[in-house]
């Protein structure tokens, strides 16, 4: 099982989500934690998010994360609608 590390942005964004989306996000995090290789679960990102991955929570929502293989940790950076997580300044 992989550990989960929640960045401050992720925690703030998560608290603003509707309870149904929070539940789906929780299920997605559990899925990533139980995966053999969570780095293969999401899509690799390019540009300013290079090195990060995106895991789809339903059609509109994404979790942005990366994997630290040395510490077996999934680092959760952002959660929200597609346009919110990809168009941050």
pTM for this entry: 0.92
Domain that holds residue 15: 3-86
Tokens of 23: 């539940």
Q: State pLDDT tens for residues 1-42.
A: 999 999 999 999 999 999 999 999 999 999 999 999 999 999
Residue 88: predicted pLDDT = 67
Report the candidate in 78, 23, 89, 84 with the shortest Cα–Cα distance to residue 54: 78
pLDDT for residue 52:
96
CATH code of 12's domain: 3.30.2310.20
Task: Please tell me the total count of domains within the chain.
Answer: 1
Distance from C-alpha of 46 to C-alpha of 48, rounded to nearest angstrom: 6
């Amino acid at each position: 099982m992989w550990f989960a590390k929640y960045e401050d942005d992720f925690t703030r964004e998560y608290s603003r989500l509707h309870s149904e989306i929070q539940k789906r996000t929780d299920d997605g995090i559990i899925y990533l934690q139980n995966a053999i290789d969570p780095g293969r679960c999401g899509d690799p990102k390019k540009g300013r998010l290079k090195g990060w991955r995106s895991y789809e929570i339903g059609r509109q929502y994404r979790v942005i994360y990366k994997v630290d293989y040395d510490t077996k940790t999934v680092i959760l950076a952002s959660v929200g609608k597609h346009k919110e997580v990809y168009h941050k300044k």
